Chains A and B, each alone.
Chain A
Amino acid sequence: MMDLAPLWLSAKLALVTTLILVVLGAPLSWWLSQNRSRWQAVVQAVVAMPIVLPPTVLGFYLLIVLGPQGAIGSWWVQLSGESLTFSFAGLVIASCVYSLPFAVQPMQNAFESLSRSHLEAAWTLGASKLDAFFSVAVPLSVRGFISAAVLCFAHTLGEFGVVLMVGGNIPGETRVVSIAIFDQVETLNYAAAHRLSLVLIVFAFITLFAMFLINRRWQSR
């Protein structure tokens, strides 16, 4: 009998993270795509850092910031009376930081490949900048949004190091599938580890395959 709770928790974490990152990442990606100042390069570099940093480094600092003594953690404790670390909410914040580049880069690429003339046409037709963003830029960048969502979801599903540092291993709260697999392997329960791993492998393949298929269909249009 397979313990489904970690799978479910992983899916929930990935879904919440994806939603937050696509919504909050879109304006950030837009700003990055339209801006050519020195600040743009700085922000661009910061956003990309989770790609190169070991998850342990990221997790270590998140643990400090989110901890009860940390800048965000202490504020959260005052607000809700609970600790952010070793909680689902803490995991969501950590995942958002960790997966940020995977949301921003596809959306930014899509926004950059937009023809500026389409935006200018929209403005001269009476659309404000905000209106043109939603009525022209977003619909013409759907592919970027889909890529961002898929990559975010898949990447969050696969995270391990950051979760271990920030969330620990609390069943039903922070025990996501990657942690569960690690657990099973440690206790030499290979059969259970196989089952969970296989589910992940199949899922990863299907998601990526679907994404490339969608992308190809779009290109040929």
Chain B
Amino acid sequence: MSYIDLKHAIQKGDFRLEIDTEIPAIGITGVFGESGSGKTTLLRCIAGLDAPDKPVPAVHERRIGYVFQEPQLFPHLDVRKNIEFGMRRNPDAKDTVAEVAKRLEVDKLLDRSTRDLSGGEAQRVSIARVLCQSPRLILMDEPLSALDERRRNEVLPFLDRLHAETAVPIIYVSHNIDEICRLSDHLLVLDNGRIVAEGSLRDTLTRIDVPALAGRNAGAVIDVMQVRHDSEYDLTLFEFSGGELWVPGRHDSSTQRLRVSANDVSLSRSRAESSTILNILPAVITETAAESASTVLLRLSLGEDVLVARITRRSLQALELKVGDTVYAQIKSVTVRR
């Protein structure tokens, strides 16, 4: 597997960004962190927009696509001319406007003025514009954060599709853990200009020793395969390395990514005989970390997969839970991610 080097250091007033790592040259690398952690600065360094000195190569020679928070469409050009803008400037661009526009379902908007687009449409046009320049790397800086819930859903499915179809590596910056879980394969967690955790999404997201991943962000993702749908109760059965999971509703695709929040996992020493919880799986405690005065995060291993559970410190002591113990993880609910 090939890698992309990320080596950037820049001082901005009191803030210092210092990054030295490499990321896979395939798939989506999520960059997660609170606002002010340096996510956008990192992207701007990669693009050459922020550089300690004169950037070499110059920004326009890097062939790095940049999807901004706001679509930044040129108001003096119509949708088609906007999409063509980058293509005209890259002689070896291979996609045609028609193809790319169709992929992002903006082909009906090509002759419109950019003023007549909804927020979701405009962001899709800006993504099409970036794809048409045939970039070697695509940077996305919170492309959904300026959109409301409904508009967001006009864009998210296209990001999923992009993820599945394009060979161009993408770096996706967000402070929204749901987007990160849904889209990324690899994860960088930034805090105060430094990388505090990195690696595959599954392993990194479940790092309970990283404060940026605690609180409402604590949880895990599990990639599962569909087994069957039970039409009597409208439940779908999925399997993964740690066992089987029942999930309400019918789901189309054969593989799914499920997100399990730390709050939705509770533990017991023995398998509860009569419980309303459908999914009870044996797991081994691999790590514990105090989260606050009252709560503790536990990292659990189930087969090759990992779950995170949040319990009270009092329960931890009452059940005398410690690393190496086998427990039963009761999964109250999961969120289907894709």
Contacts and interface: CB of A to CB of B under 8 A. Distances in A.
A124 B89 contact: no
Contacts of B86: 125-126
Contacts of B143: none
Contact of A123 (B49, B74, B90, B130): B49
Nearest to B77: A139
B155 interface: no
B85 A117 contact: no
A136 interface: yes
B45 to A, nearest CB: 13
B133 A126 contact: yes
A127 B60 contact: yes
B64 interface: yes
A125 B68 contact: no
B289 interface: no
B63 A126 contact: yes
Given A123-B60, A125-B133, A126-B90, A140 B75 contact: yes
B66 interface: yes
A126 B60 contact: yes
Contact of A117 (B47, B70, B129): B70
Given A131-B60, A131-B89, A124 B65 contact: yes
B59 interface: yes
Nearest to B85: A125
A132 B88 CA distance: 13
Contact of A124 (B59, B70, B74, B76): B59
Contact of B47 (A124, A127, A139, A221): A124
B76 A140 contact: yes
A120 interface: yes
Nearest to B49: A120
A203 B62 CA distance: 52
B335 interface: no
Contacts of B75: 140
B58 interface: yes
Interface string B302-333: 00000000000000000000000000000000
Contacts of A127: 60, 85, 89
A129 B129 CA distance: 19
Interface string A90-134: 000000000000000000000000010110111111111101100
Contacts of A122: 74, 85
A151 B63 CA distance: 42
B72 interface: yes
A124 B66 contact: yes
A131 B133 CA distance: 16
Given A121-B74, A124-B66, 10 more contacts: A117-B70, A117-B72, A118-B72, A120-B49, A124-B47, A124-B65, A125-B133, A126-B133, A131-B89, A140-B74
25 contacts: A115-B72, A117-B68, A117-B70, A118-B72, A120-B59, A120-B72, A121-B72, A122-B74, A122-B85, A123-B59, A124-B60, A124-B64, A124-B66, A125-B60, A125-B89, A125-B129, A125-B133, A126-B61, A126-B89, A127-B60, A131-B89, A135-B85, A136-B76, A139-B76, A221-B115
